[in-house]
Structure 1
Amino acid sequence: MPPYRLPLYHRQSPVARCINFLCAVLLTLILIAGVIFFVLWLSLRPHRPKFYLADFSIPSANRQSGLANLPVSFTVNEHNPNQKIGIHHEEIVASVFYGDQLVAKGTVMQPFYQPPKGDKPVVGQLVAAGPVPTDPVWGRFSAELAAGTVAMRLLLTSTVQFKVKIWDTKQHHMKVECDFRMNGDGTLQQQDKNKQCVLYF
């Protein structure tokens, strides 16, 4: 029976050791680059703006001849929560609805730039087109108005682009939806003041 022998240690060739060293360095560099890119992505990732309904009114909304030609006024406060990212807005178009009935529509803001951590009021001045007594929804609208509370909806639409340092992101179509209730005198109910609106991108 041949004597038991320990396996001999085979040293790696210089070429194999060099390849292993280069692979280790490459993997380390990839890991470091991945961490750096992840941190940069977190710090430069745009956060969507926030909108709050501050005020709304239709003076003399309870008149018997309907809302046609009455002024519609509102204020929506916009806040940019980003530390280092600004927001370019194209023109903002506002639409006011009672159910599916369009009450008023028009452009309320021209293009503007919202700086980082900035706040800007979106102030709208529109003219109501209805409802009027000849509209099918007038009976329900006037009854709710007489009862002192009417569910309304304000939509703001625009196109926005985030400005990160020296480059701009792609354009996003933005829709802001503010659901609220109006008092019988055409003013915004107190509980809906400064209510956050829903933002769709």
Structure 2
Amino acid sequence: MTHNDKEFRCSHQQGPASYARRAVCTCLTVFLLLAGVTVLVLWLVYRPHKPRFAVAGAAIYNFNVSSSLPPQVCATMQFTIVTRNPNRRVTIYYDRLAAFVAYRNQGITPQVMLPPLVHGRRSTVAMSPVLGGGQAVPVAVEVVNGLAVDEAYGVVGLRVVLLGRLRWKTGVVKTGHYGIYVKCDVLVGLKKGVVGQVPLLGSPVGCKVDI
């Protein structure tokens, strides 16, 4: 057998296996490309938009600031919070949601757990949690001093905070849990001795939502 005959036999034996490998690689590449395009199209069609939050009203039923040691704030407040689901195809499930009020980045009410919420597509939901409940919260001295000055002036800047976990649902498919953190900065007209509804001052501003 000549050298050329050996080369021909080797190439003849290796050819089918090589073609099979190339065919498998080609099919796998096409499948991955099609899968990627499908996922991209589904994401573009169903990608969820973040919910929107805004504070529409406020009431103060109790607001006592104590400079005793340790300094404490004892407050009972109620905020009307409006949330909007802007998605046409996606429902939002809030499996856990809590709220509290902060002043100068420090909580002045304890966290209150809110009921689970199913937020339908393109719907608006209003909730009015009562925060504080008269439970005293220890705070820093600068918080007590700042609140006393602002209350004497008649304008207090507060932050309503909501935090929890949500899921998205489209059709029969639900995503995993995502953390949500909502910050609503509001200016309320508050004077000593006033109880009940208080005005929201300044232009209405939507809350900042981080997911």
Same fold (TM over 0.5): yes
- SS of the residue 1:75 aligns to: strand
Aligned to 1:190: 201
2:124 is the counterpart of 1:125: no
- Consecutive unaligned residues in structure 1, runs of 5 or more: 1-25
2:115 is the counterpart of 1:110: yes
Aligned to 1:55: 57
Inter-partner Cα distance in structure 2 for 1:92 and 1:150: 25
Q: 1:38 to 1:72 in 2, by over 3 A?
A: same
Q: What does 1:70-149 align with in structure 2 at a 5 Å threshold?
A: 70-126=75-131, 127-129=133-135, 137-149=143-155
Report the Cα offset of residue 163 of structure 1.
Answer: 0.6
TM-score (norm 2): 0.69
Report the Cα offset of residue 57 of structure 1.
Answer: 2.3
2:204 is the counterpart of 1:199: no
Is the CA contact (8 Å cut-off) linking 1:92 and 1:110 kept in structure 2?
Answer: yes
Q: 1:27 to 1:130 in 2, by over 3 A?
A: closer
Report the identity percentage.
24
- SS of the residue 2:169 aligns to: strand
Is the CA contact (8 Å cut-off) linking 1:61 and 1:184 kept in structure 2?
Answer: no
TM-score (norm 1): 0.72
- Deviations 1:152-190 (CA, angstroms, capped at 9, x unpaired): 111101100001211111110111011111212382423
Inter-partner Cα distance in structure 2 for 1:32 and 1:171: 28
Inter-partner Cα distance in structure 1 for 2:136 and 2:153: 19
Aligned to 2:169: 163
Q: 1:86 to 1:143 in 2, by over 3 A?
A: same
- Consecutive unaligned residues in structure 2, runs of 5 or more: 1-27, 192-196
Is the CA contact (8 Å cut-off) linking 1:62 and 1:146 kept in structure 2?
Answer: no
Inter-partner Cα distance in structure 1 for 2:74 and 2:64: 13
Inter-partner Cα distance in structure 1 for 2:72 and 2:199: 16
Q: Specify the code of the residue in structure 1 equivalent to 2:198.
A: T
Inter-partner Cα distance in structure 2 for 1:176 and 1:27: 43
More helix by share: 2
